[in-house]
Amino acid sequence: MRRFLQLLSAMSRPERWILSVLVALLLLSAVGLLRLFYLRNTVLVPASGGTYIEGTVGELQPLNPWFIVQNDVNHDIVSLVFSGLLRYNPQTRAIEDDLATMRSSNDAKIYTLTLKDNLFWHDSTDAAPHPVTADDVLFTFKTVQDPQFPNALLRQNFRGVRLDKVDDRTVRFTLDEPYSFFPSNLTLGLLPAASFVGIPASKIDQAIDFGYAPVGAGPYRVKSIVRTDFSTEVTLERFARQLPPVHRLDRVVFRIFSDYSSLLSDVGNIEGVRLVPRNDDGQPILPKRFTPLTYTLPQYVALFFNLDRPALQDQKLRVGLQQGTDKQAIVDAIHESHIVDTPLLEIDTSDWHYKFDPGVAQGALLASRWNLPERYRLQRVLEQEDANRAGLVHPPRVVLLTENGVLTLSGSIPPMPREALINGVQIGRHLAESGSWLLGLPMLKGSGAILPGENLIKITAGKPSHIVDSFYIYGAATQDEYNRAIEEQRIVALYQETKNAPPDTPPKITIAQVVNEHGMLRMRTSSDPLSVRVNEKGEPLTLTLLTSDAPHTYRDVAEEVKRQWAKLGVSVVVDVAGSPQEFQDRLLRRDYDVLLFGQSLLDNLDSFPYWHSSGVQRLTGKDSDLRQDAYNLSQYTSFKADEMLQTIRRTTDEKERERALKQLQEIFKQDAPAIFLYSPVYIFAHHRDILGVELGSLSLHSDRFLTLYKWYVKQERIFMPGMGWGSFFSWLPSLL
């Protein structure tokens, strides 16, 4: 060191300056090499820590897994605070172990669940540990089975199920009938028995203290709930549990707003938004720094035919409406994209039978009991002309009625009987030809007079008199009416020419080119609306389409359906319920011809509740007899469909299930109990700083949090396998 200092002192100022520069360059190079080595031999990996803040619109209610069906906001929070015995995996679409492991019998009737080790409730401490036990499992599900439990829909999932405690960590569920979808019911969040001591099942929904300070066994626990005039903020913090997977985020905060405008005003403090609305152009209403993710749920929106209504019992009518509904136009009108053709969402519909085809639809409707009034009128006129042509008398089809006017009819005695009466008037012999007869029928008044409108003239003979023949004469009271009747005769003649022409001859006139106005046919103009179909009794085909005012797109869909069906000759009265309660009441009473509504199949895609005959509402006239769980909105009954639905539920053989699904598909094709329209597309958005977000195939909106363990906001670098700082010098030659 002394010699180095002597050397420095012996150097001139420029020499010392040059040396300083070289040393600095050497140090910078070394630092640069070290940094380059570090960057090239390390990778960024997610790190624990950080907070995720999500904005949502709704209302916070007590947090309890038993009572979240109608509240998506609560469902989101509950899904993180509580855990079930099993969980749905949105990436594999399978029901997997969560708090417990499951064994099932081959006949799908016995399910044995064993709790995993080291499971604790959120209120557990070192001084007072509170483990999850089989008693908590029994409490959770036996409470649901109690006849006084205030959630009848949830109670239905556990009818015919016996629960037995095998040991402190094991519970057995025994079913009366095989049910391969039963594991889905075990995703219900467990609740601690200790928190509900002394509370009867009938009042369990009134346990408000628990609802706002819930105790669960999920990956996060409630730290605080803060309400302001602007929003409600629920803060969850990560719960230290040994159960994998391990979540990285320290905190998850839900900011709940009353409307979306309020949410947007605070969007600078939010890192995620659930159920992002769209503008009139279908674009998400959200700042660009957010990444929108679209997804669908196992849901469909459909037009359910009420098969209790006589008109809709006509299968050909239903098929015609099915084929005449332009689903693409419907989804375009409301900025949707995912068209659905069947309630069996697990099957391929690329070869679905009913595609939009107005021509085929008109053909199907033609075969139904409902026809355009023009066709009925044309058919009647043709029948009358055939009767006149084949009869004993060949009168003019139309006459202009005048005061004191007389219509003269004549003919030969044979084959006309000598004693015959025409409309009650005795025929007389022609003076010049003894073998002929002559008769004058008065107009407007007198015996046997021709009256305004359609006249069926009867020829009678003998004593007692009997009808020998009959013919038709139309009496026109005005010149305008006479002209219209003559024009109708011309149109009918053209149609007959069309009917009798060779197949390759272009038609002169078709039903679509004429209109029935005031009971007579005339040529259609561009301003004429399509006529409403009628039955043989002349009753118009008018259907009431009931829907809800939420979501608002239902009204737009209903109006589009009304417009489309008007082109098919079907009159639709759109009836939007004035309130949720009114809609629910009419739904239960099946007070509609057609219902526009949505149904959700959840993770198991089980169509049984919606299409099995056991779900039909029994209408006795008494509101007390109405079932809340009567989900068969079409009142559809089919022995074959019931058999397939039961097979799908019962079997554990995938090949048998696939065969049953295909057969059920064919049954739905033929019966057309509903028109399935689309599956709504939803938007979830997150800030670009939130990484690792994966959605998968969700069955509920809250399922996006089933992959929350993959989300992160912090990262760290770690050396690649086999590398470390000690590898620096051996790495240097790789740069040469």
11 lies in some domain: no
- SS3 at position 91: coil
> Are 67 and 269 within 8 A, CB to CB?
no
As a whole number of angstroms, the distance between CA 563 and CA 435 comes to 63
Q: Are residues 622 and 735 in the same domain?
A: no
**DSSP labels, 569-596:** T-EEEEEE-SSHHHHHHHHHTT--SEEE
pLDDT at 402 over 90: yes
**With contact defined as beta carbons under 8 Å apart, do 186 and 163 qualify?**
no
Picking from 678, 711, 727, the residue at the C-terminal end of a domain is 678
User: What Rg do the C-alpha atoms of the chain give, in angstroms?
Assistant: 40
> What is the CA 106 to chain-centroid distance, rounded?
34
657 and 584, same domain (yes or no): yes
3-state secondary structure of 307: coil
CA 291 remoteness from chain centre: 26
- pLDDT level of residue 6 (50, 70, 90 thresholds): low
Residue in this structure with the two tokens 């005031």, named with its chain if needed: 518
Domain co-membership, 382 together with 366: no
Q: For residue 672, is pLDDT > 60?
A: yes
CA atoms of 617 and 93, how far apart (whole Å) = 32
- Give the whole-angstrom CA distance, residue 653 versus residue 660: 11
Q: pLDDT band at 33, cuts 50/70/90?
A: confident
Extract long-range pairs of 137-140: CB within 8 Å, 24+ residues apart. 137/85, 137/100, 137/113, 137/171, 137/190, 138/163, 138/165, 138/171, 138/193, 139/191, 139/192, 139/193, 139/196, 140/188, 140/190, 140/191
Q: Could you give the CA distance from residue 491 to residue 211 in angstroms, rounded to a whole number?
A: 75
Same domain, 412 and 433: yes
Residue that wins the pLDDT comparison between 48 and 19: 48
Question: One-letter amino acid identity for 530?
Answer: L
Task: Specify if 204 maps to a domain.
Answer: no
Contact 427, 420 (CB under 8 A): yes
Q: Kindly report the CATH number assigned to the domain that includes residue 341.
A: 3.10.105.10
Do 276 and 308 reside in the same domain of the chain? no
Task: Sort 535 into a burial class: Cβ within 10 Å, 0-12 / 13-18 / 19+.
Answer: middle
Task: Tell me the pLDDT tens digit for each residue of 453-466.
Answer: 999 999 998 888 89
Q: What backbone phi and psi angles, to 5 degrees, belong to 573?
A: -105, 110
Specify the pLDDT at position 4. Answer: 59
Bond before 150 cis per omega within 30 degrees:
no
Assess whether 222 and 283 both reside in one domain.
yes
Q: Please compute the mean of the pLDDT values over residues 40-47 and round it to a whole number.
A: 82
CA distance 619 to 508: 51
546 and 596 Cβ atoms separated by less than 8 Å: yes
Weakest-pLDDT range from 24-33, 291-300, 605-614: 24-33
What pLDDT is attached to residue 28? Answer: 84
Kindly state the DSSP code that residue 189 receives in the 8-state scheme: B
Give the rounded percent of residues in the chain with a pLDDT score beyond 70.
96
626 touches 588 (CB < 8 A): yes
Contact between residue 132 and residue 217 where contact means Cβ atoms under 8 Å apart:
yes
Q: At residue 615, what is the residue type?
A: G
Output the pLDDT for position 339.
92
Q: What is the pLDDT of residue 648?
A: 94
Q: What is the pLDDT, as a whole number, of residue 729? A: 77
How far apart (Å, rounded) are the C-alpha atoms in residues 599 and 354?
A: 21
pLDDT of residue 451: 96
pLDDT one-digit tens code per residue, 117-130:
999 999 999 899 99
Establish if 588 belongs to a structural domain. yes
Report the range of poorest mean pLDDT among 304-308, 353-357, 546-550, 619-623.
353-357
Where is the domain boundary, 138, 163, 195?
A: 195
For residue 719, give the amino acid letter: F
Please indicate, yes or no, whether residues 329 and 444 belong to a single structural domain of this protein: no
Q: 715 has which bridge partners?
A: 46
**Would you say 85 and 100 are in contact if contact means Cβ atoms under 8 Å apart?**
yes
- What integer is the mean pLDDT of 404-410? 91
731 in helix, strand or coil? helix
First to last CA, the chain: 33
| CATH number of the CATH domain containing 184 | 3.90.76.10
CA-to-CA distance for 592 and 303, rounded, in angstroms? 11
Q: Locate 560 and state its tokens.
A: 């589009």
DSSP per position, 334-364: TT---B---S-TTS--TT-S----HHHHHHH
Judge whether 366 lies within some domain: yes
Q: Measured between alpha carbons, how far is 372 from 377 in angstroms, rounded to an integer?
A: 9
Tokens encoding 150: 């205030």
Distances (CA, A) of 643 to 608, 618, 637, 651: 10, 21, 11, 12
For 604-613, write each residue's pLDDT tens digit: 889 999 999 9
Domain identity same for 539 and 674: yes
Report in angstroms the alpha-carbon separations of 627 from 68, 201, 584: 20, 21, 12
Pairwise CA distance, residues 576 & 569, whole Å: 22
Provide the H-helix boundaries in 157-251. 208-212
What is the structure's pLDDT at 69? 66
Q: How far apart are CA 288 and CA 252, in angstroms?
A: 23
Q: What is the 3-state secondary structure (H, E, C) of 420-472?
A: CEECCEECEECCCCCCEEEEEEEECCCCCCECCEEEEEEEEECCCCEEEEEEE
274 lies in a domain? yes
Query: Do 627 and 705 belong together in one domain?
Result: no
User: What's at 390, amino acid-wise?
Assistant: A
What the block records as the tokens of 76 is 């989101």
What letter does residue 720 receive in the DSSP assignment? P
Rounded CA separation 531/566 (Å): 8
Is 207 a member of any domain?
A: no
CATH number, residue 492: 2.60.40
- List pLDDT tens digits, range 481-501: 999 999 999 999 999 888 777
Q: Tokens 């219509």 — which residue?
A: 407
CA dihedral 479→485→491→497, nearest 10 degrees, is: -120
| Number of structural domains found in the chain | 4
User: Do 303 and 291 lie in a common domain?
Assistant: no
Regarding whether 106 and 186 lie in a shared domain, the answer is: yes
Quickly state the pLDDT bin for 348 (edges 50, 70, 90): low
> In the numeric block, which tokens belong to residue 573?
């009265």
Amino acid sitting at position 199: I
Q: Which of 66, 84, 87, 86 is nearest to 75 (CA)?
A: 66
pLDDT at position 152 is 84
Residue 160 to residues 112, 140, 165, 173, 182: CA-CA distances in angstroms? 16, 16, 17, 10, 12
> Do both 379 and 364 map to the same domain?
no
The pLDDT value given to residue 587? 95
Q: What is the pLDDT of residues 507-540, one digit of tens each?
A: 778 888 999 998 999 999 989 888 899 998 889 9
Question: 580 lies in which domain range?
Answer: 299-370+535-678
What whole-number distance in Å separates Cα of residue 396 and Cα of residue 405?
15
By the 10 Å C-beta count (0-12 exposed, 13-18 middle, 19+ buried), 179 is classed as: buried
Q: Is residue 225, in this structure, part of any structural domain at all?
A: yes
Query: Minimal CA–CA distance to 303: which of 352, 340, 350, 344?
Result: 340
Task: Identify whether 25 is part of a domain.
Answer: no
Q: What is the pLDDT of residues 574-600, one digit of tens each?
A: 999 999 999 999 999 999 999 999 999
pLDDT at 504: 77
Residue 689 sits in a domain whose CATH number is: 3.40.190.10
Cβ-contact 111, 103 below 8 angstroms? yes
Helix (H) or strand (E) holding 288: none
pLDDT at 411 over 90: no
d(CA 442, CA 451): 9
Q: Pick from 83, 86, 102, 85: which is nearest to 241 by CA?
A: 83
